[in-house]
Amino acid sequence: MTSTAVGGPAVEAVPPPRRPPPSGTLLAFVLLICAVLASMTILHPGYADFLAGDRDRAGDLNDYLRGVIRESGGTGAFLKGGPRGGCDSGDDRTSAGILVSYAILAVATASYYWFRSGRRARRRGVRPLNAERFPALHAEVDRLVSGVERARGVTVLVDFLDSGVNGVTFGRVGRRHVVLSRGLIRLHEGTEEDRAAFRAVVLHELAHLRNRDVDITMVTLALLRCFTVLILAPRMLGDLLALVFVADGTGFFAAALLDALVLAGVVLAARSVVLRTREFQADARVVEWLGDPAPLLRAFALAGSEPVAARRRGPWTGRWGRLTRTHPSFAERASCLADRAQLMHQGFGFAFVVGFCLPAAWDPVASATAQIRAGGGIRGWWPTELITFLIALVLFLTVVRAALHRQGDPASAPSRTPFRAGIAVGVVAGYAVAPSTVVDHLMLPGLSVAAQVSGWCAVALLCLLLTLWCQFLADCWARPLDHGRRPRARATALGLVVAVAVAGNASAVFALPWQIAMGRFLDERLAALPEPLHAAVWTQYVVATKLMHPGWLVGAAVVLLGVPLAGILRDRRLARYMVPAGPPVPPPRRSRAAVLGVAALATACFPPLQTWWAHQRQVEFLAHSAVLAPLTLLVAVGTVTGGLARSRRPVWAAGSVLACGLLLAVPLVLFTGEPGLLRLWSVLVGTGVEGALVGTLATVVLSHPGRAAAPRPPG
C-alpha cells in the first residue's frame, strides 16, 4: 500500500517488513479476559447470589463442613474415615451467583461499548472538520485516510478546546471517529518539520484502525469500568461492612478485602498491557509507512514539551504507576522506535498476570475443600481447561514473538529472567490470594501453612519449567517461522499443540497442592518429613508415575523432544541456503570422561548419604531399595544429561541418555521376565525419563545460545 499526492510525501515509502505472528495487543486482550474470568469466582458480589436464589438459608455448607469434621475427631480422622462421597453441596448457590455475575458483566459491557463508545464525539467543543473553513487541512487528512486500509469512512473531528498535540481514535463497529486537537492543527500551519509531525500523529491514529485494535480498546475500557462499578465496588463494600459489624469474621473478611485489592491490581495490570501494547504497535506501523521515525520523534518532543502539573512520586508510587498506566511515556515510545525489544518482548508484569491466572482458575475446583464437596458447586461447569488452554496459547505465542526478535537481533534482546520470574511469582501470588488459603484453614483444623506454601512452590517450579521449554521450543522454530511460508499459521499450530498438551495435563499439576496438604494427614511417614522435602518427594512421585505409562511416555517424548527436534532439522535445512553472518563459533565442549566421572561420583555418593539422612530423620522408608533405586537413577540421568547438553544439542543429549537406558534395561526384562523386576524396571524408566527431561530443561535452556543474525534471502 503506497499512497502519494501531488506535492506531498508518500504515506508508505518502504515495503513493510515481515511482521511477527500474532498481534501483541490481541494476546494481551485475551489475557485480560482470562484474568477477569478467573477473578470472578472470588469477586462476585452478594447481590448476585441473592438474585440466584440465596435467601438466607437456615443451613450453611461451611458450617456443615466444620460440624462434620469436628464430629469425626479432626481433619485426619475425617479424611481417613469420613464419608467417601463428600459433603452434599447441592443447595449451594455460589455456582448460580457466579453465572449471574457473568451475565450482568457481559450485558453491561456490551451496552457500554455500543452506546457509550462514541460519547467523546458529543463533548463540548468537538466539531466535524469543516472543508470550507480548512480546505488545505481537509485535503491533507483525506489523502492520508484514503491511503490507509480500513480507515475509509472514518469521521474526522476537531477538539477546539484542547491546545495540546493530541489525537484520539474511538468508536464502535460502523462508527469510527478520529479527534484532532487544536494544537495538532496548528502544526499543519507551521514549518515543514511541523507538518511532517502532523502527518505522523494523524497516521498514528489511523494505524489503530489498520491494526484493528479500536474495538479491543473500547471493549477493554468498557469491561474494566463495568467490572469496577458492578462487581468490585459492591463486593469490597460488602466485605468492609461485614468486617465492621460481624463480630467473629475479622480474619475472613480482612483477607477477603486484601484478595479483592490484589485481584483489582492484577486486572489493572492486564488492562495496562493491552493499552500500552497498542501504542507501541501503532508507532511501529507509522514508521513502516513513512520509512523514517524522525516525524514521530518530532511529535513526541512537541507533545512532551507541554507543561504538566508536577507531582512527587515515591518509589512504590512510581512502580505502581508504571505497572498500571494506560500509555507509555514518550521516552519509552522513542526508545521502542529505535529498538523493537519493547514491542516484541513482554516483561515481569505480563508474565505475572499469566502466572496469577492459572491458580486463580484452578483453585475453585482443585482446593482441599473443593475435593470434599460433592454435588452442586462450580466443578461441573467451571471452564478450567478452557482458561488454561487460552493462557498456555498466550504464553507460547508471546515467547514466539520474543524468539523472532532475538533471532534477528540477539545482541539487543533483553534478559529473559524478569519474564521467568514473573511466571513463578505470579503462580505463588495466585495461590496466596485464592479463597482456599483462608477457607481451608477454617474448614480443616491442623492444616500446615508450610505445607500449603510448599505445594504452591512445587506448582510454580513446574510452570517455570514449562516456560523454559516454551522458550526453547520457540528458539528451535524461530528461523523456520521467520523464513517459511504462512508464519502465523505455523506459529498458531505450534501454540495449539502446546496449549492442548498443557490443558490435558494441568489437572495433575494443580492437584499437587491439596494432595501435598492432605498427605500429611493420611500418611505418618510423609508427616515426619519437612514440608519442602515432602512436596519434592510427592511431586517426583506423581511425575514418575505418569511417565511409567507407555502412552504418556510416548506422548511426552513426542511433544517435549519431537517437536523441538523437527524445528532443529528444519532450521538446519534452511541454514544451507543462507550466508553466515560471520565465522561459526563452536560451543565449548566438555570432555565426556569428565561428565561421566561426575555422574559416577554423584551416583556413588548419593545412596549412602540418602540412607544416612533417612535414618537421622527417622524416615527409613526413604532408604528402602524401591525408593532409593529410582532416586539414584534420577540423580545419575540428570547429571549426565545436564553435562552433555551444555556442550551439545539438548535433544541429542536427552535422546542419548534415554536410548542408553532403554538398551540396558530391555534385555534385562526380556531375559528374566519376573513381574517384580518388570515393575521395578517401569519405575526406573519413568524416573529416568523424568531425570532426563528435568536435567535437560533446567541446565540447558537457561544457557541456550542465541543464533547469529543471518541475512534473509532475496525475495
Of 189, 211, 233, the one marking the end of a domain is 211
The answer, yes or no, to whether the previous bond of 20 is cis (omega within 30 of 0) is: no
- For residue 3, what pLDDT is reported? 40
- Give the Cα separation of 6 and 10 in Å (integer): 10
- Give the Cα separation of 462 and 7 in Å (integer): 61
Q: 617: domain range?
A: 592-702
pTM (predicted TM-score)? 0.78
- Give the Cα separation of 446 and 439 in Å (integer): 13
- For residue 166, what pLDDT is reported? 85
CATH number of the domain within which 203 lies: 3.30.2010
Same domain, 543 and 604: no
- For residue 426, what pLDDT is reported? 92
Any domain includes 265: no
Any domain includes 509: yes
Same domain, 567 and 601: no
Of 185, 211, 237, the one marking the end of a domain is 211
- For residue 16, what pLDDT is reported? 37
- For the chain, how many structural domains are there in total? 3
Any domain includes 95: no
The DSSP H or E segment spanning 653 is: helix 650-672
Same domain, 563 and 596: no
Same domain, 552 and 637: no
Taking 70 as the pLDDT cut, the residues of the chain under it are: 1-23, 42, 52-95, 249, 306-325, 368-381, 408-412, 438-443, 525-526, 548, 550, 578-592, 617-619, 626, 641-715
- For residue 396, what pLDDT is reported? 92
- For residue 392, what pLDDT is reported? 92
The DSSP H or E segment spanning 629 is: helix 625-645
Same domain, 163 and 192: yes
- For residue 708, what pLDDT is reported? 40
DSSP 513-543: HHHHHHHHHH-HHHHTS-HHHHHHHHHHHHH
Same domain, 567 and 600: no
End-to-end, the C-alpha distance of the chain in Å comes to 18
Same domain, 418 and 555: yes
